[in-house]
Structure 1
Amino acid sequence: MESFSDLSLSDPDQEASDGEEKPNMEGLGLQIVDIPTENGSHSSSTRQRKRAGGNESNDNLSDDGSELSTQRSARASPGRRKKKLHKLKLKDGSVIVLNPPEELLKRSESKARKHAGLGEVEPALEEYIRCTALCRLVHGDGHWKLAESHTNLAYAYLTLKGLAPQAQYQAEAAKKIMLSGLHASDSSDCKADLLAVLVKMYYVLGRSNTMFNKYPEAEQCLLKAEKVSEERAKLIGSVGSEQEQMAIYIAIAMGKLYANQNKQALGASYYEKAVRLTEKHHGSDSLELIAIYQDLGKLEQSKGRHSNHDKAVEYYLQAHSITVARYSGQSEEVAETAHKLALAYSEQASAEAETTAERYLDESLGIRQVLYGPHHPKTIATQESLCKLLIRTDRQEEAVSLLKTIISSKCVTFGDFSEEVGETYKLYGSILLSQGQLDKAMKYFRKCYSIQSSLYGPSHKKSKATQQTIDMLLQSPALKAKEGQSKAGQLKKRPRFSSTIKTGGTLP
């Protein structure tokens, strides 16, 4: 795809009346043919009926079975009942559905949207796959509605299950159809639907390429999605909740892309754009703002020594304020934002900030202990964050006491010989080492090494690092002497070797 500079998407009826050229989509590689009706342009008559306040009849609905057409049909006849499935049961027990594919396609599209809205992942994917097969039967291999079906399936794979390879495969199939065929359009609404497919298709390709760390390809696709979305917004009747939401998603995806490339300025600009769009269309207390503010805080913290920790805290505080306002006080959402806010405060390295961080960690820990109990991974993670804060503030005794609780909980949750338990033994050994308790520190470092060498092998970098710490401790005079005495004691306990073999009888 080349540049978008030559893309013109103004009203085809207005251009025809002025004697100018129709919109040229060749800059997108997308070829659209406008089909006029007997009484003039379909889009013109549609707008006249809309201004008159009338409803369109079923005869004027497009044959492509699009969601927009289905919604208009539903408004035109709200009392219409859903058609039942006509089934034929065979002697072997199998069932054949006798309804035409057009009806089955509309039914599957409706069910797919319903399952996706309820978060029912597997049923939604099954219906989207069924939609793709039925769409090929109804419209053929080269129709843009088939590309739309592939795009919806790709979007479902990406957003419902996080499967980037499958999403990219389906989006590439849609791209091949959209950019290699000739697509008919009889109204500006139909043209807007065509562009909506392109927007979602390029969005999926951009997100999936980002997950594969293919940043140049991802940037190209997301910029195309952004440009086509802006052009689509210029069409009459195309601005709606779906258009606005997709613009927000594209801005967030661009922010994540640039954040992954450590382009903090560009990433922040797109995240701030997402904040503005979300506040404009959903309000300043929208739940979608929570993740955006947290991403902005994380992006600010990623600047290293140039980070503005006060600004990062402000972002996390805004996310926590919205969460507290929209959720109950004893919810996981409040616990999660409080935990992240506490970690942001702890980065400020001031006594006041550390006190505030401890307060939010206590709040998060209290909620999670009530919700999940003492042995849940989220409860343990909060305890670990609190323990590290206690170590930073030189409250070693409290940290050691909490570590004993953490080790006990981890043994129950993850098992005695787990990576999590090994890391806690190492942390415990480090605290004891800082207190000068070399014997006890050696004990826990050896426990850590035993677990790591069992899990990864003695040649793994983690095992080697722990072994180096043990070797360093053994160089201290006190431990070296004690280790020598221990080996001498073990030698004394061994039985003396004798070359004489006593037998029960005499040899011949």
Structure 2
Amino acid sequence: MTPAEKLTLCERRAQSLADSEEYDPCIQELVRCLALSRLVYGNEHFAVAQAQSRLAKAYLQYKAEAESSFHKAAIVMGDIVAQEAMGKEDRVDTEYEIFTNLARVYQRQGRPEKALSQCERALELLQEGAQLNRICCVYKNMAAIEQAQGHLDRAIEHLLQVHSIALSQSPGGLEGAQIAHSLALAYSSTSEPHHNDSATRFFEESISAYRSTLGPQDTLTLSAQDDFSHFLLLTGQQERCAEIQRECLAYKKSTFGELSAEVAEALQLIGGVEMTQGQMRHAHRTLKKCLDIQNMLYGPQHKKTKATQRTVDMLSQSPEVGERRKESRLETRPPFCAVISSASEVTSNMSNS
């Protein structure tokens, strides 16, 4: 068997081991692939850089250690580029893999500046071919890195870049919905009042796009509505929060089931708003339904169930709820005339006997 044939066999074996989640043997096969690539192509061929990058990626995914391997791949690529020994498309593909995976390595290591530096190198590389999907991925990675550091304004800048690209490619599409949702969450987490209008705008945009692309019952649509509802609560817009939750309650029952955590949460939000508005009777009824579901899901000793039980007990003591319960007992009591008639029949039967 020639070295080239052995290389093909090793590559297939490595893929098979990765598919079956046998990671250590997979890495061993990728090491052999690298050695055979050097033997078949020579040290300065782009296939060697690709093999080095695949090995590094495996270390990153399976061992969480890959920095030196990616650096070696980058050095090989540098030599190849200097000699103009590979095509532009192959070079961009391989260097993109190296830069983006090095960014992930640095991010895991808690070195955000180095991670961002690799992202910037990837962006510079991608500008040559205007590869918009990859550019969006890099900007999203940069936003995640910045947000993890608490740099929300910088994260928002990167997400706005992605949003602009997404809208130019597919207005109202799923990608735009997801980015608008991310922007809404970023703006809403800044705790700065002047960002509230932007948060509202992007929440509404994302929900509208999710509805049109996926439907009102989809989990992404419902998740965005939940996030918007919590934002509305925090900004004092309780009535609109309850309105959204009432609108999506039927869809939550259809998607998650009548006895689901999602339905219980919706009822809890609605009941909480009703209580703050002084609608004690409605709040008691709504939260009692929530309590029944929580008892089924978590049991009576769970902290969520206990908290709702305390609220229901408190509401039960309110005059409005107490009066309604009294009315309910009167409504179920038989009419006075029916009682008299029944008593008369019994007396008559006793006399005849």
TM-score tier, shorter chain, comes to: 0.7 to 0.9
Letter of the 1:302 counterpart: A
CA distance in 2, matches of 1:184, 1:370: 52
Among 125, 148, 163, the alignment partner of 2:11 is 148
Cross-structure match for 1:311: 154
1:322 is the counterpart of 2:165? yes
CA distance in 2, matches of 1:270, 1:264: 10
- 1:320 is displaced (CA, Å) by 0.3
Decide whether the 8 Å contact of 2:176 with 2:206 is kept in 1: yes
Alignment of 1:143-222 (within 5 A): 143-153=6-16, 157=19, 166=21, 168=23, 171-175=26-30, 177-178=32-33, 185=39, 188=42, 192-206=46-60, 208-209=61-62, 217-218=63-64, 220-222=65-67
Alignment of 1:244-393 (within 5 A): 244-260=92-108, 262-279=110-127, 281-283=128-130, 286-303=132-149, 307-325=150-168, 327-393=169-235
Letter of the 1:198 counterpart: Q
CA shift in 2, pair 1:189/1:167, >3 Å:
same
CA distance in 1, matches of 2:32, 2:110: 35
Letter of the 2:147 counterpart: Q
Instruction: Please give the per-residue CA displacement for 1:46-68, whole angstroms capped at 9, x wherever unaligned.
Output: xxxxxxxxxxxxxxxx9666xxx
Decide whether the 8 Å contact of 1:148 with 1:197 is kept in 2: no
Decide whether the 8 Å contact of 1:297 with 1:311 is kept in 2: yes
For the aligned residue pairs, the C-alpha RMSD in angstroms reads 3.7
CA distance in 1, matches of 2:182, 2:223: 12
- 1:405 is displaced (CA, Å) by 0.5
CA distance in 2, matches of 1:472, 1:333: 41
- 1:223 is displaced (CA, Å) by 3.0
Cross-structure match for 2:76: 231
Decide whether the 8 Å contact of 1:171 with 1:205 is kept in 2: no
Instruction: Please give the per-residue CA displacement for 1:442-474, whole angstroms capped at 9, x wherever unaligned.
Output: 444443343234234445xxx323313432663
CA distance in 2, matches of 1:312, 1:387: 23
1:407 is the counterpart of 2:252? no
CA distance in 2, matches of 1:450, 1:405: 21
Decide whether the 8 Å contact of 2:184 with 2:203 is kept in 1: yes
CA shift in 2, pair 1:373/1:195, >3 Å:
closer
- 1:315 is displaced (CA, Å) by 1.0
Among 237, 243, 262, the alignment partner of 1:420 is 262
Decide whether the 8 Å contact of 2:3 with 2:40 is kept in 1: no
CA shift in 2, pair 1:465/1:314, >3 Å:
same
Instruction: Please give the per-residue CA displacement for 1:14-36, whole angstroms capped at 9, x wherever unaligned.
Output: xxxxxxxxxxxxxxxxxxxxxxx
CA distance in 1, matches of 2:108, 2:298: 29
CA distance in 1, matches of 2:306, 2:243: 26
Letter of the 1:375 counterpart: Q
Q: Which secondary structure state, in structure 2, belongs to the residue aligned with residue 166 of structure 1?
A: coil
Q: TM-score, normalised by structure 1?
A: 0.55
Alignment of 1:96-115 (within 5 A): none
CA distance in 2, matches of 1:421, 1:153: 43
Aligned residues: 327
CA shift in 2, pair 1:178/1:187, >3 Å:
closer
1:466 is the counterpart of 2:305? yes
Q: Which secondary structure state, in structure 1, belongs to the residue aligned with residue 258 of structure 2?
A: coil
CA distance in 1, matches of 2:316, 2:299: 30
CA distance in 2, matches of 1:152, 1:375: 38
5+ long unaligned stretches in structure 1: 1-61, 66-138, 158-164, 210-216, 494-508
CA distance in 1, matches of 2:38, 2:126: 34
Letter of the 2:165 counterpart: I
5+ long unaligned stretches in structure 2: 333-353
CA distance in 1, matches of 2:210, 2:55: 40
Q: Which secondary structure state, in structure 2, belongs to the residue aligned with residue 329 of structure 1?
A: coil
Letter of the 1:316 counterpart: L
- 1:185 is displaced (CA, Å) by 3.0
Decide whether the 8 Å contact of 1:343 with 1:357 is kept in 2: yes
Letter of the 2:307 counterpart: Q
- 1:318 is displaced (CA, Å) by 0.5
Cross-structure match for 2:273: 431
Letter of the 2:141 counterpart: D
Q: Which secondary structure state, in structure 2, belongs to the residue aligned with residue 345 of structure 1?
A: helix
CA distance in 2, matches of 1:183, 1:379: 48
More helix by share: 2
Decide whether the 8 Å contact of 1:226 with 1:247 is kept in 2: no
Letter of the 2:166 counterpart: T
Decide whether the 8 Å contact of 2:102 with 2:115 is kept in 1: yes
Decide whether the 8 Å contact of 1:202 with 1:224 is kept in 2: yes
Q: TM-score, normalised by structure 2?
A: 0.76
CA distance in 1, matches of 2:195, 2:53: 44
CA distance in 1, matches of 2:113, 2:69: 21
Decide whether the 8 Å contact of 1:248 with 1:274 is kept in 2: yes
Letter of the 2:179 counterpart: T
Decide whether the 8 Å contact of 1:154 with 1:204 is kept in 2: no
- 1:319 is displaced (CA, Å) by 0.6
Instruction: Please give the per-residue CA displacement for 1:99-154, whole angstroms capped at 9, x wherever unaligned.
Output: xxxxxxxxxxxxxxxxxxxxxxxxxxxxxxxxxxxxxxxx4xxx343333334556
- 1:293 is displaced (CA, Å) by 1.4
Cross-structure match for 1:450: 292
Letter of the 2:129 counterpart: H
Identity of aligned residues (%): 22
Q: Which secondary structure state, in structure 2, belongs to the residue aligned with residue 366 of structure 1?
A: helix
